[in-house]
Amino acid sequence: MWHEFLIALALLLIVEGVFPFLSPDGLRKALVAIHQLSDSQLRFMGLSSMLLGVVLLYFINR
């Protein structure tokens, strides 16, 4: 189980690093836009992201 978790963590770090590596200015603009969102908008985005991840995992593991 730890092996799969560490692989998932490594892939997460790779994916998270692509945008700032390719477009640091775009990342800054995105962070400014995120900073201006309300708490409820951020919570909705987080919930939507988690649900999409759960759905993807379900279909991948079918």
pLDDT in tens, the chain (62 residues): 899 999 999 999 999 999 999 999 999 999 999 999 999 999 999 999 999 999 999 999 99
Q: What was the pLDDT predicted at 1?
A: 85
Q: What was the pLDDT predicted at 7?
A: 95
Q: How far apart are the first and last CA of the chain?
A: 19
Report d(CA 35, CA 22) in Å as an integer.
21
Q: What was the pLDDT predicted at 6?
A: 95
Write down the domain spans for the chain: 24-62
